[in-house]
Amino acid sequence: MADDVLSKLKFDADGYMEDSSAWNEKVAEALAAKEGIKLTDRHWVVIKYCRDTFAKTGDAPSLRNITKNTDVQTKELYELFPGGPGKLAAKVSGLKKPTGCI
């Protein structure tokens, strides 16, 4: 089913959506499933914040920014999005790969 939802969408080489406006909640669930993540309410707090921040600034938020402005703390972020929470949260939220650090 996940493949159905994603089949019509375009992704970059690293699996980030090309067009963030084509994103919806079903897409998020499918993208998360590909990463082995089943979305819970706590994931949605983070995803919603990522979408809101992107709409305002044009960039995915940093981890520091997420933990400062939501009640999700860093440790929990790593549990929700194991490995690289910044990149994974952006990916599931349909955003471009975070430009991050230099």
Binding residues for other proteins restricted to 5-24, rule: CB under 8 A: none
Residue 101 known to be catalytic: yes
Q: Does 50 bind other proteins (CB under 8 A)?
A: no
Closest distance of CB 4 from other proteins, Å: 31
Tell me which stretch binds other proteins (CB under 8 A): 9-17, 23-31, 34-42, 60-68: 60-68
Contact 50/90 with Cβ under 8 angstroms? yes
Contact 90/96 with Cβ under 8 angstroms? yes
85 CB-contact burial (10 Å; exposed 0-12 / middle 13-18 / buried 19+): buried
3-state DSSP call for residue 54? Answer: helix
Burial profile 86-96: b = 16 or more Cβ within 10 angstroms, e = fewer: bbbbbbbbbbb
Residue choice 18, 19, 44, 64 for contact with other proteins (CB under 8 A): 64
Q: Does 97 bind other proteins (CB under 8 A)?
A: no
Binding residues for other proteins restricted to 65-84, rule: CB under 8 A: 65, 68, 74-75, 77-78, 82-84
Binding residues for other proteins, rule: CB under 8 A, are 62, 64-65, 68, 74-75, 77-78, 82-84, 99-102
